[in-house]
Amino acid sequence: MKKPMSETITIAISQRICQHMNEDHGDAVKLYAQVLASLDRVESAKMISIDSQGMNLLVKTPETEVTTRIEFDHDLVDAQDAHHTLIDLLKQARARDE
């Protein structure tokens, strides 16, 4: 039986996380697109939503804009879990990008 969630990833929480990531960590979002989504020639990336299973990015390349989804390795339980998961994904992306 699942534990009760203290703070699920609601639309409001998704918007808050996306705004924070796009305003303060745009380089991380771009790296997610390049490394974790394996997209080439990424000019910019914007996190457009996050839910318990993954995040959706709007990615601009020289030719087009595409949306892509990056799935998490577990279901997020709350915003704190999202925070830690996004940090872990950034560490993985940086390690794979070296």
- Of 21, 18, 26, which Cα lies nearest the Cα of 43? 26
pLDDT band at 98 (very low <50, low <70, confident <90, very high): confident
Q: Is the pLDDT of residue 3 over 70?
A: no
Q: Alpha carbon of 51 to those of 7, 40, 63, 96: distances in Å?
A: 12, 25, 28, 24
For residues 29-46, average pLDDT: 96
pLDDT band at 7 (very low <50, low <70, confident <90, very high): low
pLDDT band at 54 (very low <50, low <70, confident <90, very high): very high
What is the rounded distance in angstroms from the CA atom of residue 66 to the CA atom of residue 29? 14
Q: Is the pLDDT of residue 6 over 70?
A: no
- Of 3, 88, 91, 15, which Cα lies nearest the Cα of 56? 15
